[in-house]
Amino acid sequence: MAVMRIGHISIRVMDMAAALKHYEGVIGMSRTHTDAAGNVYLKCWDEWDKYSVVLTPSDKAGMNHVAYKVERDSDLDDLAAKIRAFGITVEQLPAGSLPACGRMLTFALPSGHEMRLFAKKECVGTAVGSSNPDPWPDDIKGAGAHWLDHCLLMCEFDPAKGVNTVVDNTKFFMEVLGFFQTEQILVGPGGATQLASFLSHSSKPHDIAFVGAPTSGLHHLSFFLDSWHDILKAGDVMAKNKVRIDVAPTRHGITRGETIYFFDPSGNRNETFAGLGYQAQRDRPVTTWTEENAARAIFYHTGVLAESFVSVYT
């Protein structure tokens, strides 16, 4: 029984035409489907399943749900039992509830975010195919993102009231879904309070992350690029397209990743992320960042954390 990877994320956008210009022209995604309700489905060139991002028309930005793909359809039944045993209500959605996707489990995380699990989605192949492929397609657009890499969720956090859904989510992902923790930020007297948690189910430094905040929401969805050079090129693409850049190219201490943060036209924060950082393994000691080094953990070069980076999210 195994969660393999992030499968897709469904987000709300307020201007579909502007959103498509952004995700196609800046990120470099391709449209694969539009349904009768006007939801648009997109994939990156190096992804083989039919879509990884779903854009839904709305009057406000934010995340509808995030979905992870499991190895086998039978895993869904085993996981449903484990989720219920943890105390979380889980429902099953029939195949076809989303286009080209098999049956799904849907449930609310302790933080309130909707999560889904599925095993089957139509495989359409990468843009370079599986037989004698070139290293990239000739018609690559924008930043040319390879794939949807991860998301970071802001989680309700009020230690004075005994509320810390960062810890609750971490416990659920580790005990029920089989993730393991790679890094954390501890704050408060004696470093007793977990403010941030980074979790993996692969050899990547993180497949999902949680950070404490006054209310729950979506901090960012992240797209993978090859290298620091590609991060800089992505910055040029954003500048040419007048994209609102939140954080210019820099390095994280956490994950050692190279990054740019920026916003789509509706205000959903995006990231382009490069660098393996290190090989995450279950027996690797958890990296812990202390409160006095929290800003450097996030932005290693400057050690300065803009207040808006943690207070602005959808």
Positions annotated as catalytic residues are: 150, 206, 220, 252, 261, 271
The residue type at 312: V
Helix (H, G, I), strand (E, B) or coil at 16: helix
Assess contact for 33 and 41: CB atoms under 8 A: yes
- Say how far residue 287 (Cα) sits from the centre of its chain: 20
> Distance between CA 70 and CA 68 in Å, rounded?
7
Question: Which of 162, 126, 163 has the alpha carbon at shortest distance from 145?
Answer: 126
Helix (H, G, I), strand (E, B) or coil at 300: coil
> Distance between CA 42 and CA 28 in Å, rounded?
10
Question: Which of 20, 31, 44 has the alpha carbon at shortest distance from 225?
Answer: 44
Assess contact for 273 and 251: CB atoms under 8 A: no
Task: Kindly give, in sequence order, each residue whose CB lies less than 8 Å from that of residue 242, ignoring residues fewer than 6 positions away.
Answer: none
